[in-house]
Chain A
Amino acid sequence: MENVKRSKISMSTHEAIWGYVFLSPWILGMIFFVGGPIIASLILSFCEWDLIQPPKFIGLDNFIKMFTTDKRFWTSLYNTFYYTVLSVPLGIIGSILVALLMNQKWKTVRLLRTIYYLPSVTAGVASAIIWMWLLNPDFGLVNYALSLFGIKGPLWLADEVWSKPALIIMGLWGVGGNMIIYLAGLQGIPQQLYEAAEIDGAGLWGKFRHITIPMLTPVIFFNLIMSIVWSFQIFTQVYVMTGGQGGPSDSTLVLVLYIYQHAFKFHNMGYASALAWVLFIIILIFTLIQFKFAGGWVHYEGELKK
């Protein structure tokens, strides 16, 4: 009797219920901690709020202003795209290369890994000061090193044209952060695959191309999405290095810095929220595109399609 009753709940429903059970912490978190503020910020984007007096509803005014009369919005959008387009590919390639190097079985590899990793976790203020010193046009090490090759280094952070490249270089110092994710991914590639390939006569490049990369694609995909999301939101380094100004001449005014200025300097939290939601939509579109194309190149050993 009981056996019959139990089978009334189909396998797929059973699975679905348990799926939701394991999902529940996140759902609860969304309801209690995350969802509310996000919805609040959406509502705020249609308001005017100086943080001191109550918010005032103004409809689409923020968005109209943003797209028609706000020059600095487009500047910040350009700056953010510039930074992302350059630093994301460089960062991913850099992290993978470093991870491959750090996956070798040398005796000193632990020390090496620590050296590559530490910069990514150095306190923002300290690393900003260090890089401001390094990139100093007159006595910084970077220009000094360039001068050894006969190149006169640019003015870096003080120059409109070179300020963004300076940020990108500084960002590359942190490839160690992503390196550890790739290292974890490399660990997950079964040795047998490499051995089998070797027997088949594959050389270093062959193994890399046909085993390492494909097996790493889930991690690369993750890293690609996260890198784009994070690059679009770059804030702390720029904030510390330019004193929150985004200079010189707004050349390092990235979108989140601009949002911050409106929220806390110009007393315009409503406009800041509107800007944030526009940024959100942009990132979302990029992410959706990537998810759409993921099937074409990402390889999961254990994917569970619906």
Chain B
Amino acid sequence: MADKKGSSFWESKKRQNFIISNILYLIAWSGAIIFVIPLVWMIVTSLKTPDEIFTIPPKWIPISTVTLNYDINIKAKQDGVVSITKREDGARILTLGTFNHVIPEVAVLQVKKGQKIQKGETIAIMPKEGIVKIIENDNKTKTIKIVTKEGGLIKQYQLPENIKLFVKENDVVTPGTKLARINPQWQNYVKAWAPEALDETFNRYLLNTIIITVLGITGVLLSSTLVAYAFARFRFPGRDILFLIMVSTMMIPVQVTMIPTFILFKYLGWIDTFAPLIVPTFFGGGAFNIFLMRQFFMTIPYELDDAAKIDGCNYFQIFSIILLPLVKPALATVAIFGFVYNWNDFLNPLIYLNSTSNYTLALGLQTFTTMYGTDYNLMMAASTIVLLPILIVFFFGQRYFIEGVATSGLKG
């Protein structure tokens, strides 16, 4: 290749690739940002107090500031003739026209009964400043009361757990003073992990889930590869029909085989054990995995098998020494699907496990959500907890099934 001609050709090609690569990078990240928004909302919500969840416009940062807020001059909202009634708690209701003004005990009235008032006139005056009193409640929350020198209540704020106070006891404050900052409620995660009402914490559920998942993946990897090998590399009578039968076992909705399967396991005495969740994985591991592995086995040229046979390998050695290493990405994929399936499986544990000490994470999460119903923040915290291990496994395990696996060495 003449240098001059070659270099300009390669340069423009390189530049082309460079530009395209960057455009793709941009697209990839734009898409990723859109994809991650719902997850971000999930995490943000898990750190909110119940009040912060449904604000309009939605809050993206789980932090709010509590500011002392009241009008020093209470103004009339309508025209009218003043009538005053006292409320049981000491406040006064000042009615003007159709509007009821709530006048706290500590405010000084500027008008009298029967007076004619115009809209906008001052009808009462609140204390210009107040004293901070902080009360510690039993449930680890605090209440801030702003009071007058005589102890009359000006305003009161209930605070959740995780806060940073900006004022101290007996500070003098005026309207507009920042009283406290509500921080991300990290304790939601503690509450979600160890709900007070349950005997077990998610610790137990985690252990159960790990046992089931690890054994489940083992079973699936062992058996689905063997069976797929049979379908991919052997000729035997009925092979194609059996394959079709296998694939069609996936087509029956689980809702109708659920109960006959339950009866089967009851007959075997396996109810309330992990057996129904684990043993079947050692017997084929599911049509999905067999099908997947079979496809991948079939991407490998048969010549390799032949070569190995000539070298004196038996079928098992062809399987383990030649084929398996070449389908490592597929193996890792099956492993991660198996991991996710067992980790998130809620229906099977629901049916087969009775004692709550045997529950898995997904089932615990489900019962948890129905227990706390509308505590969205706790629910999101629990969901994030369940999601986290998958995230970690996937993020760090990527190199095992996606990157840099040397493939088919046909020519080499």
Contacts and interface: CB of A to CB of B under 8 A. Distances in A.
A26 B223 contact: yes
Judged by DSSP, the binding face of A is helix
Given A112-B32, A141-B37, A44 B256 contact: yes
Interface in A13-64: 15-23, 25-26, 28-30, 32-34, 36-38, 40-41, 44, 51
A243 interface: no
A181 B292 contact: yes
B295 A272 contact: no
A175 to B, nearest CB: 9
A118 B39 contact: yes
A118 B387 CA distance: 8
Nearest to A189: B407
Contacts of A104: 21, 24-25, 28
B253 interface: yes
Chain A interface size, under 10 / 10 to 19 / 20 to 34 / 35 or more: 35 or more
Judged by DSSP, the binding face of B is helix
B213 interface: no
A37 B242 CA distance: 18
A255 B248 CA distance: 18
A73 interface: no
Contacts of B38: 119, 127, 130-131, 134, 173
A291 B395 CA distance: 35
Interface residues of B, number: 108
Contacts of B259: 51, 263, 269
Contacts of B319: 22
A121 B24 CA distance: 25
A188 B405 CA distance: 8
Ranked nearest first, the 4 interchain pairs of A and B with the lowest CB-CB distance are A29-B283, A19-B234, A126-B383, A40-B260
25 contacts: A15-B234, A19-B230, A21-B230, A22-B319, A28-B283, A33-B261, A104-B25, A111-B395, A112-B32, A114-B398, A116-B35, A122-B42, A124-B346, A125-B369, A133-B41, A134-B41, A184-B330, A184-B332, A184-B333, A184-B401, A218-B295, A219-B295, A263-B259, A269-B259, A302-B304
Interface of B: 17, 20-21, 24-25, 27-29, 31-32, 35-39, 41-42, 56-58, 223, 226-227, 229-237, 239-240, 242, 244-253, 255-257, 259-261, 263-264, 279-280, 282-284, 288, 290-292, 295-302, 304-305, 315, 319, 326-327, 329-330, 332-333, 336, 340, 343-344, 346, 362, 365-366, 369, 376, 379-380, 383, 386-387, 390-391, 394-395, 398, 401-403, 405, 407-408, 410-411
